Amino acid sequence: MRHKAPLIDALLGLIAGVGLVALYAPLLATAAISFFQVVRVRGALGFAPFSLDPYAALLANGEILAALATSLVVAAVASIAALGLALMFAFYFVSARRGLGLAMQTMVFLPFLLPPIITGLSLLIAFREIDLGRGLVTIIIAHIVFIVPVVYRTVLVRLQLLGSSLTEASLDLGASRVQTLRYVILPQMRPALISGVLLAFAISFDETLITLFVAGSQTTLPIRLWAMMRVGFVPEINALATLILLFTAVITFAIGMLQRAGERA
C-alpha cells in the first residue's frame, strides 16, 4: 500500500507549477502585449487600451503574407512527400533483414540527429555540386530530408504494433497485397499517418536554420520574423508570434487526440 506524503506531494506540485510558469509566462506575455501594447506614461510603464491594430497591420503587410504563403506551401508539400517516403522506409524495415533494415534506419535518422547547421551546410554543398539553384525547390527538399525521420518513427511504431497477423489473414482470404495494403493496413494506421503528417507540418513550418542555408531569395515566415526582429520589435511581431503559438497549439492538440484514438483502436 502506498503511503501518502503530503509535504513531498506539495513540494513536487510547487516545482511543477514553477516550471510551467517559466515555460509559458513569456508566451502568454507576448500574446497579452499583442492586444495591450506597453506604453510609458509619466516615466512609468503601463498598458494601452485593448486594440487589434497590430493584427490589422500584420494583415496589411504584403511581405509577411507572401512569406506565410511560402511556408504553408513548403510545409504541405514536404509533409506529404515525407509521408510517402516514411511509409516505404517503414515497410522495408519490417520486411528486410535486420542488418539492412538497421543500416537504412541509421541513414534516415542521421540528418535529424545532426546539428541543424551541419545538415544545412551539407545540403547547400550538395545543391551546389549538382548545380541546383537555391529557391523554393531546395527548401522543400531540405525540409523533406529533415522531417522524414519524424513521420517514419510514428509510422513504424504503429506498423510494428499491428504485427503480421492481419496481413497473413487478409492474404489467406484471397486478397492481393495491394488490396491488403489499401483496405486492411492503411485504415488501421490512419491515426498514426495523420498525426505524423501534422507533426512534420509543424516542424517544417517553424524550421529556420536549415532554411537559411538553402533559401536563396525565397523567404519563409520564420526567416521573415527573424529579419523583423533584427531591426527592432514592432507590434506586428507580437501579433505574428501569437498567431503562430495558437496555430502550433491547435496542431499539438490534434496530434494528442489522434494518438489517443490510435491507442483505443
Burial class, 46, CB count within 10 angstroms (exposed 0-12 / middle 13-18 / buried 19+): exposed
Strand partners, 46: 39
Report pLDDT digits (tens) over 98-118.
778 888 888 888 888 888 889
Query: pLDDT at position 80, please?
Result: 94
Q: Where in the chain is the domain with CATH 1.10.3720.10?
A: 53-264
Query: pLDDT at position 151, please?
Result: 92
Query: pLDDT at position 1, please?
Result: 45
pTM of the model: 0.80
Query: pLDDT at position 146, please?
Result: 92
What is 53-264's CATH topology? MetI-like fold (1.10.3720)
Residue type, 72: L
Return the half-sphere exposure (C-beta side, CA atoms, 13 A cut-off) of residue 138. Answer: 26
Residue spans of the chain under pLDDT 50? 1
